[in-house]
Amino acid sequence: MENPGSLPFLLVTANVGSVFEDPSRLLNIWIQEFLSNVASRRPAFIALHLQEVGGKTYEKSMEYVQEFIKKLCESAELADYNRIRVYLDEDYNSAEHFTALGNLYFAIRTIDSLQMWNFLTHEWETVEGKNIHTGNIESVASKEKAKFPQQFFPECKWSRKGFLRTRWSLNGSVFDLVNIHLFHDASNLAACEEYPSVYCKSRRRALVHTLERFHQDSVNQAVPYFVFGDFNFRCDTEGVVKKLTEDLTMHRIPHPKSDNSKVQYRDSDGANVLTLGKKEFNHHDQSTFKESWLRQFDRELDSLRSILHEYPITFPPSYPYEEDPGQPGSYMSTRCPAWCDRILISPAARKLIDDERENGKTSGMTTAAATSSAKGTYGIMGEVVCMGDHKPVFLNVRIKTTQGTHREISADELRARLQEYDDLNARISDEPSRCATGGSGLILKTHYVQITPRQSQDSSGSGSVSDEICCGRSQTTIRTAAAAVDDEDSTGVDDGGVEVDDVDTVFYQQNQTAAAVGGAACSSMIFRETTV
């Protein structure tokens, strides 16, 4: 008999970029495997967080994205899920906003009460029917979205990384669901120079910054949250290479372009065992990365475990798998395999998880693809089928109902807990962000600001969302006064030619003016860097 005090949840994160690069071979396989997992688990609520929706060239993949959503929503396996919310950030022409994130939510008809938070009006709204938000979703108020500033990822000339958050009240329990995508390791050679690597530091800076934003939110308040996505966490590459190359000799393979240089490690017979290049990590026995020894080098989350909980990992690294349906369990020789895709839980969210086993026993899954415990099942989907270079990672848990809003730890407590890891935090924080000029040494301070665009001239003014689809492709991109501010200094000129001395003031005045005239709402956040 099902426990009426809790409901089964299925949380899934998947980087689907490679799936949309080869949709004819991979799209249907991916959909079938996902739906098969849904059918076998029968959760009451499904949260599917996607990254890199549409692949590298979104404009060429739009029709496949639409097909993907249509097949999921109309599938027999999801027929009993009569309340659907989809958020697809598809405005690829907007370099300032585009994240390629997708949040999909499915609620079964037996759920009594389901509401979503409006980040503009700060009120709850009842969830009914099906709403699919696509295209430009900046003005959709039931989500909060931000793209990370370039300073977080100095090695990347252009990035789509960011987060997309929604807030729910399900049968009286309140929680946030956060989709996040952090920056990858651009070069294996740079990654193995030291630990933590420059990439690890950038990821941690962006993640901590995001969590601080949630805990400091005095308007929406901090509530329990689950943050799951492609964190791009990588193994300690320096440590892995040392482990793999014991008793081997190193040979440098020079190249006119330093970026293309390689390092080979050979045994006593001269046979090559490991080749390391900027985008090559080729070991003669790729199956070794599925053995338990690699877990000791999964260290990137260590300095955050006092503020983010994770179920034990016993499944193999979720990335980088071959994109060939004929090799579903093989790794590519491009990167050191790692647990990039994770599902993490805030301190208060842990209290929402029902400790009792469903029906008095754990899930029937006993393979290495999942960790089963009294509190849930944590694993990967598609262990024996190709689902692209990332295997989807899932968490199947029961969430307590009628819990109200558990108080999340304060921003001060968050910072205090981070200080528990003095050594690693000091090493990760020893390179603070500098202003773009690089000469003044002024430390950058990030502000979170909310932009309210002007009402479109051809808008009906109702601001309502249809039951079927809310397509934002026709919406006009608004250039606010703040968007004109030069990132290299704290002054700029607004659209009317007025010099602006304070970035935050620009955003505040823009919001106040728009609110006064009843302008369209916007629940997207932009990170602005200013010097202090």
pLDDT band at residue 371 using 50, 70 and 90 as cut-offs: low
Token pair, residue 388, equals 């692209």
- The percent of residues above 70 in pLDDT, for the chain, comes to 73
Asked if pLDDT for residue 61 goes beyond 60, the answer is yes
- Say what the pLDDT of residue 256 is: 74
Q: What is the widest separation between alpha-carbon atoms in the chain?
A: 78
- Give the count of beta carbons closer than 10 Å to the beta carbon of residue 29: 17
Report the b/e string of 474-484 with b at 16+ CB within 10 A: ebeebebbbbe
- Is 189 strand, coil or helix? helix
Residues of the chain within CATH 3.60.10.10 domain(s) are 6-234+294-413
pLDDT band at residue 93 using 50, 70 and 90 as cut-offs: confident
What is the spatial distance between Cα 87 and Cα 91, in angstroms, rounded to a whole number?
12
Token pair, residue 470, equals 């809310």
Nearest to 120 by CA among 141, 93, 92: 141
pLDDT in tens, 95-110: 889 999 999 999 999 9
State phi, psi for 191 to the nearest 5 degrees.
Answer: -65, -30
pLDDT band at residue 41 using 50, 70 and 90 as cut-offs: very high
Whole-prediction pTM: 0.80
pLDDT band at residue 405 using 50, 70 and 90 as cut-offs: very high
Average model confidence (pLDDT) for the chain?
A: 80
Highest mean pLDDT among 74-78, 303-307, 364-368: 74-78
- 6-234+294-413 fold: Deoxyribonuclease I; Chain A (3.60.10)
Neighbour-count burial of 531, counting CB atoms closer than 10 A to its CB (0-12 exposed, 13-18 middle, 19+ buried): middle
Asked if pLDDT for residue 532 goes beyond 80, the answer is no
Asked if pLDDT for residue 426 goes beyond 60, the answer is no
pLDDT in tens, 182-238: 999 999 999 999 899 999 999 999 999 999 999 999 999 999 999 999 999 999 999
Q: Name residues whose C-beta falls within 8 Å of residue 260's C-beta, 6 or more positions apart in sequence.
A: 277, 278
Q: Name residues whose C-beta falls within 8 Å of residue 48's C-beta, 6 or more positions apart in sequence.
A: 12, 14, 34, 102, 103, 104, 105, 106
Token pair, residue 101, equals 């994130």
What letter represents residue 507's amino acid? Answer: F
- Say what the pLDDT of residue 175 is: 99
- Say what the pLDDT of residue 179 is: 99
Q: Name residues whose C-beta falls within 8 Å of residue 9's C-beta, 6 or more positions apart in sequence.
A: 43, 44, 45, 46, 47, 395, 396, 397, 398, 399
Q: Is 384:347 a contact under the CB 8 Å cutoff?
A: no
Given the structure tokens 């308007």, which residue do they identify? Answer: 219
Neighbour-count burial of 79, counting CB atoms closer than 10 A to its CB (0-12 exposed, 13-18 middle, 19+ buried): exposed
Asked if pLDDT for residue 428 goes beyond 60, the answer is no
What is the spatial distance between Cα 475 and Cα 176, in angstroms, rounded to a whole number?
27
Asked if pLDDT for residue 177 goes beyond 70, the answer is yes
